[in-house]
């Protein structure tokens, strides 16, 4: 998903860089913001089982696009009128990235309203294929949440493992080895099997804030920075900073406001948020 976000914005910026009109820069700024927001919402959806923070509560989602997203949910919108069943908050959370991907596609399609020349069909196919890659990656990730390991299988495997470890000393009692050998064998086998069981518990849910969990937000920030670099190369630092302000979240209060940031861009080349 990170790679698809980087490639999408880079492709859009490079293939339309010859149009340096104000409207073209605004369009590229919107596509970049929407692409970053799509990745951010996907990360929130992945972390929802542990953090219980829905996408519509994050500070990055705001304004008109937030209203459009909420309108398409049963929680705060009107989609329940034609829904086939009452959806839970968790189900609506998993749906939000799919909704956002549609708005990204529509933003790309609306290039006719901003660019002086229409984007060739081949480039449009490339943009859509990159979005398809993002959606497919998120769909594969969603399978982890919707198709967990069957509980009876986990229960039986765990029960048999504990039963085997518990009865191991009795099985070794008929062996002619010494007591010290028996203790070492029991310790090593118990340590190995219980350790593998602990590892399986850690791998069962790789999202969250544990030491062994994926740093979703950290990896997403790296992708955001690459997006800003793409906009900076084509449109300049002012437009890159606009995207940065749009993606300002609760995790980076050190980012200056719009007026202060514009002043810094005028003469300071050591901005920590670019």
Provide DSSP, 170-238.
HHHTTS-S-HHHHHHHHHHHHHHHHHHHHHHHHHH--BSSSTTSB-HHHHHHHHHHHHHHHHHHHH-HH
The pLDDT score that the predictor gives to residue 253 is: 52
Cα angle, residue 36 at apex, residues 235 and 241 outer, rounded to 5°: 40
For the stretch 177-229, pLDDT in tens is 788 888 898 899 889 988 888 887 777 766 666 676 677 778 888 999 999 99
The predicted model scores a pTM of 0.77
For the stretch 12-25, pLDDT in tens is 999 999 999 999 99
For the stretch 232-270, pLDDT in tens is 999 999 999 999 998 887 556 555 554 444 444 444 434
Whole-number Å distance between alpha carbons of 201 and 176: 37
Average pLDDT, the chain: 83
The pLDDT score that the predictor gives to residue 273 is: 36
Residue among 229, 24, 3 nearest 131 (CA): 3
The pLDDT score that the predictor gives to residue 262 is: 47
CB 96 within 8 A of CB 135: no
Tell me the chain's radius of gyration from C-alpha atoms: 25
The pLDDT score that the predictor gives to residue 201 is: 75
CB 97 within 8 A of CB 38: yes
**What contacts 54, CB < 8 A, 6 or more positions away?**
44, 48, 75, 89, 92, 93, 96
For the stretch 129-173, pLDDT in tens is 999 999 998 988 877 777 777 778 778 888 888 888 888 888 887
């Amino acid at each position: 998903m990170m790679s698809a976000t980087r490639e999408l914005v880079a492709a859009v910026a490079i293939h339309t860089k010859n149009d340096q009109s104000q409207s073209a820069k605004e369009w590229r700024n919107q596509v970049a913001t929407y692409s970053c927001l799509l990745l951010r919402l996907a990360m929130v959806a992945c972390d929802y089982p542990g953090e219980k923070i829905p996408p519509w509560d994050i500070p990055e989602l705001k304004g008109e696009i937030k209203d459009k997203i909420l309108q398409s949910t049963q929680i705060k919108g009107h989609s329940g009128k034609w829904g086939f069943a009452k959806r839970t908050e968790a189900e609506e959370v998993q749906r939000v990235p799919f909704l956002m991907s549609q708005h990204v596609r529509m933003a790309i399609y609306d290039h006719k309203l901003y660019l002086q020349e229409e984007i060739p069909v081949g480039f449009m196919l490339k943009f859509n294929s990159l979005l398809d890659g993002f959606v497919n990656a998120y769909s594969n990730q969603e399978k982890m949440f919707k198709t967990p390991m069957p509980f009876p299988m986990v229960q039986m495997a765990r029960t048999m493992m504990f039963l085997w470890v518990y009865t191991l000393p009795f099985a070794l009692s008929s062996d002619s080895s010494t007591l010290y050998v028996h203790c070492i064998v029991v310790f090593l086998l118990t340590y190995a099997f219980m350790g593998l069981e602990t590892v399986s518990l850690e791998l069962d849910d790789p999202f969250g804030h544990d030491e062994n969990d994926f740093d979703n937000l950290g990896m997403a920030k790296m992708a955001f920075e690459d997006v800003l670099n793409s906009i900076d190369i084509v449109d300049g630092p002012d437009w890159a900073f606009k995207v940065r302000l749009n993606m300002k979240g609760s995790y980076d209060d050190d980012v200056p406001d719009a007026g202060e940031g514009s002043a810094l861009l005028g003469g300071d080349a050591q901005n920590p948020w670019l």
